[in-house]
Chains A and B, each alone.
Chain A
Amino acid sequence: MEKVKEILQNYSSEGRENLIPILQDIQDNNGWLSEGSIIEVGNHLNLPVSKIYGVATFYNQFSFQPKGKYHVQVCRGTACHVLGSASVLKELESTLKIKPDQTSKDGLFSLEIVACIGACGLAPVISINGEFHAKITSDSIKQIIDNYKQQQNN
């Protein structure tokens, strides 16, 4: 919550224009929007919590539960689809044992579907914590995920 207060100090209390940038900063810092942080934002901007919640739920970027340590984004753009991203997603679901928008029990991985991450030339693509992995196959997924698991153990 300290972090949220710090973020709010960067924005003047006037103007709804700052609502989305504030929510984005909180999302980036905390990984999710907690109930408490939304109330805090409401007090700061003098906006009803319902309005803020309405805006936050409209956009895909915001999540209402904590993300995993490694956040896996699966691109489901057209090029990725044509080159088999549906089976990539299935493989990830079964490897990580979670569905999209869920976080694994150990808090290590979370999974998200994104519309297109703009690396169509390298389809199918996944991005883990912002790092791109190109031309994914079901074999390479296991290897990539194992690498992250190992990183965690070391």
Chain B
Amino acid sequence: MSEFIKYKEFIIDNVLINSKNNNEEYKHKINILKREIVYKPIIFIGTGTCGLGAGAGKTLNVVKQYIEENKIDAQIIETGCIGLCSAEPLMDIQLPNKNRISFDNVTQDKVVDILNNIFKYNNKQEALCQFPSENNESWEDVIPINEIPFFKPQKRIVLKNCGIINPISIEEYIANGGYKNYIKVINNDKPLEICDIIEKSGLRGRGGGGFSTGKKWKFALNTPSNQRYLICNADEGDPGAFMDRAVIEGDPHKLIEGMAISAFAIGATKSYVYIRAEYPLAIERLKIAMQQAKDYGLVGENIFGSGINFEIKIKKGAGAFVCGEETALIHSIEGKRGMPRPRPPFPATSGLFGKPTIINNVESLSNIAAIIENGKDWFASIGTENSKGTKVFALSGKISLTGLVEIPMGTTVREVLFDIAGGIPNNKKFKSVQIGGPSGGCITEENLDIPIDYDSLLEVGAMMGSGGLVVMDEDTCMVDVAKFFMDFIQRESCGKCIPCREGTRRMLEILEDITKKPANGDSHDALKRFKGITQLEKLGKVIGETSLCGLGQTAPNPVLSTLKWFRNEYEEHIFERKCSAGVCTDLRVFTIDVDKCTGCTICARKCPTDAIIGAKKTPHFIVDDKCISCGTCDEVCKFDAILIN
């Protein structure tokens, strides 16, 4: 039960219906709800999935134990993820009249020290940052959060509340400006007006395709029907993207409000959230938030006396990447195999159960409330000419700071990777960044200065996709990356159309051939490998042009993109049979350093193919033809005598 439940009447009467925001009492109450003013210490712990993975659960237990043992009257609040995954677990402390202060990497062993320093000596130790507030005193020598290089260039619209507010407190969300505009919209505006605002704001779908959201809504609105549906696509199957999960875990009410406004705009009274079953925490928090919205009368029948009805149902995905495609997703909700069908008819005219259906992704829907609040011109002023607003990116791979960043469109890739995320760790050299997951491509050193928007990414053979950025350094083999994506796609291909089902399998086989040691050295085998590259290009073109759905049409992209930018690596694998990144272990050639080998015979005994010969106490040799490059000899050698090329 929320501690703010006693404010329910105040919120409904004075915040949502008649806002009297210049009276002192109102301001004071809002400040309490926003936790600008606190009367007892609060300890915030980031318990999103990343936080829990890094040990936030144990941190939480130690904090609970500490305040109990020391009889401190403090409150503990679990928040979502602020975006700095590599600094998890994060713990914030807010004392009465003092700014909220944040600590990073707070594993269970560090908790007692930090809390002792704060509560016993009023000393902040090494804090990460503080949250500036005009109502409170600031800490000396602690950097404000908006001046940290990771946060400074960001513009947070979708992620504004994530990691800051209590995700399962509707009162806090409303105090921060939530749901007010929804009530205004359903009482004063016409659906077409809302579609217009969204269209003119320039918002484009954040799930990958980049189609104008307002335009799509109008298709559904203009199709006569007694029932329309809104579906929120939270089936974030794209490996390397996790922003939807973070938004739902950190600020579920933002999504619900966005859905409520969208449903009104298209004239839908029923909606679904299609969410991955792999996100149990997000589902749990969303369920709680939905119940709260119901209790406040924001979801249900005749909302705030407007005559508008709106209901939300959760549908758990059952683990199929192709269900991110809209027609496949619809089939899955209908209880069928999640296979796409040809379009047209587009779902906007004939979708779920044959009715007009709009499918928007979590990030698109989470932008809606802010656009309605601040106006279309405000949104259109952010970003580039054809790509408006911000985009959330998930940074992972070989990068110093991993996590979520939200930046205005038009920021360069270099700024994101090097200014915000701190570049490549361990003094390694940057090689490439993969954007857009299995449908996307890679961006190399020479294209690092392109501005991120829908069109410039397409120009260099990549695509926005859902916004996963996986960074690769010199130790990553691009042929191996292409093989990884092909393996993923051919497993996830639904099998309905031949180019995708058979073609992706053939492409994978070619890539496997290239990265494998040839079974024998005959000329036929060598020719097959040489032909690999041209076959890959040809197959890729056919699959792209003839597949039924987006999954198949974009399936060859990772291969074509790596072929374009890293052809030399493919050639090295084919002609020299070498992987300079050392990833394709099958291509390694093992020899024994005769000076170091003592003839202990351990390698010969452990070799699974008996490829090592030699007499006791004399240097051993490896028979090339028998060696399968498994690396066992290297693992067992105590004298460092195995050389790998």
Residue ranges of A at the interface with B (Cβ–Cβ < 8 Å): 15-21, 23-24, 54-55, 58-62, 76-83, 114-123, 125, 130, 132-134
B322: nearest chain-A partner, CB-CB:
A58
B494: nearest chain-A partner, CB-CB:
A58
CB distance from A62 to the nearest CB of B (A): 7
Chain A contacts for B50, CB-based, 8 A: 119, 121-122
Contact between chains at B53 and A78 (CB < 8 Å): no
Query: Which residues of B in the span 427-457 have a Cβ within 8 Å of any Cβ on A?
Result: 434, 437
* Complex Cα–Cα for A62 and B320 (A): 11
Chain B contacts for A122, CB-based, 8 A: 50, 53-54, 85, 88, 402
Contact between chains at A118 and B434 (CB < 8 Å): no
Contact of B333 among A17, A115, A118 (CB under 8 A): A17
* Complex Cα–Cα for A57 and B318 (A): 11
* Complex Cα–Cα for A118 and B485 (A): 17
* Complex Cα–Cα for A82 and B319 (A): 22
B495: nearest chain-A partner, CB-CB:
A58
Contact between chains at B277 and A61 (CB < 8 Å): yes
Chain B contacts for A118, CB-based, 8 A: 49, 236, 241-242, 245, 276, 278-279
Contact indicator per residue, chain B 459-495, by CB within 8 Å of chain A (1) or not (0): 0000000001011100010000100110010001010
Chain A contacts for B395, CB-based, 8 A: 121
* Complex Cα–Cα for A21 and B481 (A): 35
B472: nearest chain-A partner, CB-CB:
A82
CB distance from A47 to the nearest CB of B (A): 9
Interface size on B, residues (CB 8 A): 55
Contact between chains at B397 and A82 (CB < 8 Å): yes
A118: nearest chain-B partner, CB-CB:
B242
Chain A contacts for B276, CB-based, 8 A: 118
| With known contacts A16-B334, A55-B336, A82-B476, A76–B53 Cβ distance under 8 A | no
* Complex Cα–Cα for A55 and B335 (A): 8
Q: Does B86 lie at the interface of the complex (its beta carbon under 8 Å from any beta carbon of A)? A: yes
Contact between chains at A120 and B236 (CB < 8 Å): no
Contact between chains at A60 and B320 (CB < 8 Å): yes
Contact of B240 among A58, A60, A78, A133 (CB under 8 A): A78
CB distance from B421 to the nearest CB of A (A): 11
Contact of B334 among A17, A125, A130 (CB under 8 A): A17
* Complex Cα–Cα for A20 and B337 (A): 10
B249: nearest chain-A partner, CB-CB:
A118
| With known contacts A24-B277, A79-B470, A119–B337 Cβ distance under 8 A | no
Query: Which residues of B in the span 318-359 have a Cβ within 8 Å of any Cβ on A?
Result: 318-321, 332-339
Contact between chains at A121 and B484 (CB < 8 Å): no
* Complex Cα–Cα for A94 and B484 (A): 22
| With known contacts A20-B332, A24-B318, A58-B320, A116–B237 Cβ distance under 8 A | yes
Count of chain A to chain B residue pairs whose CB atoms are closer than 8 Å in the complex: 143
Contact between chains at B338 and A58 (CB < 8 Å): yes
CB distance from B113 to the nearest CB of A (A): 22
B245: nearest chain-A partner, CB-CB:
A118
Contact between chains at B237 and A78 (CB < 8 Å): no
A79: nearest chain-B partner, CB-CB:
B396
Query: Which residues of B in the span 240-256 have a Cβ within 8 Å of any Cβ on A?
Result: 240-242, 245
| With known contacts A121-B85, A122-B85, A123-B396, A24–B334 Cβ distance under 8 A | no
Contact between chains at B396 and A120 (CB < 8 Å): yes
Contact between chains at B54 and A123 (CB < 8 Å): no
* Complex Cα–Cα for A120 and B402 (A): 8
Q: Does B315 lie at the interface of the complex (its beta carbon under 8 Å from any beta carbon of A)? A: yes
Contact of B468 among A19, A23, A120, A133 (CB under 8 A): A120
Chain A contacts for B434, CB-based, 8 A: 78
Query: Which residues of B in the span 379-421 have a Cβ within 8 Å of any Cβ on A?
Result: 394-398, 402-403
**Most B-side CB within 10 Å, residue of A60, A76, A78:** A78
Contact indicator per residue, chain B 501-533, by CB within 8 Å of chain A (1) or not (0): 000000000000000000000000000000000
Q: Does B204 lie at the interface of the complex (its beta carbon under 8 Å from any beta carbon of A)? A: no
23 of the cross-chain contacts (CB-CB < 8 Å) are A17-B333, A18-B335, A20-B315, A24-B316, A58-B339, A61-B277, A61-B318, A62-B318, A81-B481, A82-B470, A82-B472, A82-B476, A116-B242, A116-B278, A119-B50, A119-B242, A120-B240, A120-B402, A120-B470, A121-B50, A121-B242, A122-B402, A123-B397
CB distance from A118 to the nearest CB of B (A): 4
A78: nearest chain-B partner, CB-CB:
B240
Q: Does B608 lie at the interface of the complex (its beta carbon under 8 Å from any beta carbon of A)? A: no
Contact between chains at B278 and A20 (CB < 8 Å): no
Q: Does B149 lie at the interface of the complex (its beta carbon under 8 Å from any beta carbon of A)? A: no
Contact between chains at A77 and B398 (CB < 8 Å): no
Contact between chains at B237 and A115 (CB < 8 Å): yes
Q: Does B305 lie at the interface of the complex (its beta carbon under 8 Å from any beta carbon of A)? A: no
CB distance from B581 to the nearest CB of A (A): 11
Contact of A115 among B335, B336, B492 (CB under 8 A): B492
Contact between chains at B394 and A120 (CB < 8 Å): yes
Contact between chains at B332 and A78 (CB < 8 Å): no
CB distance from B474 to the nearest CB of A (A): 12
Contact between chains at A79 and B335 (CB < 8 Å): no
CB distance from B355 to the nearest CB of A (A): 13
* Complex Cα–Cα for A78 and B438 (A): 9
Contact between chains at A21 and B396 (CB < 8 Å): no
Q: Does B239 lie at the interface of the complex (its beta carbon under 8 Å from any beta carbon of A)? A: yes
Contact of B319 among A17, A60, A119 (CB under 8 A): A60
* Complex Cα–Cα for A80 and B394 (A): 13
* Complex Cα–Cα for A80 and B488 (A): 13
* Complex Cα–Cα for A59 and B317 (A): 9
Contact between chains at B320 and A59 (CB < 8 Å): yes
* Complex Cα–Cα for A99 and B50 (A): 27
Contact between chains at B470 and A78 (CB < 8 Å): yes
Chain B contacts for A133, CB-based, 8 A: 53
| With known contacts A18-B335, A58-B338, A114-B278, A120–B242 Cβ distance under 8 A | yes
CB distance from A124 to the nearest CB of B (A): 11
Contact indicator per residue, chain B 86-112, by CB within 8 Å of chain A (1) or not (0): 101000000000000000000000000
* Complex Cα–Cα for A12 and B476 (A): 52
A16: nearest chain-B partner, CB-CB:
B335
Contact indicator per residue, chain B 296-319, by CB within 8 Å of chain A (1) or not (0): 000000000000000000011011
Contact of A82 among B332, B336, B338, B481 (CB under 8 A): B481
Chain A contacts for B242, CB-based, 8 A: 116, 118-121
**Most A-side CB within 10 Å, residue of B49, B279, B333, B398:** B49
Q: Which 5 A-B pairs have the closest CB atoms?
A: A121-B85, A77-B239, A60-B319, A79-B396, A59-B318
Contact between chains at A132 and B236 (CB < 8 Å): no
B323: nearest chain-A partner, CB-CB:
A59
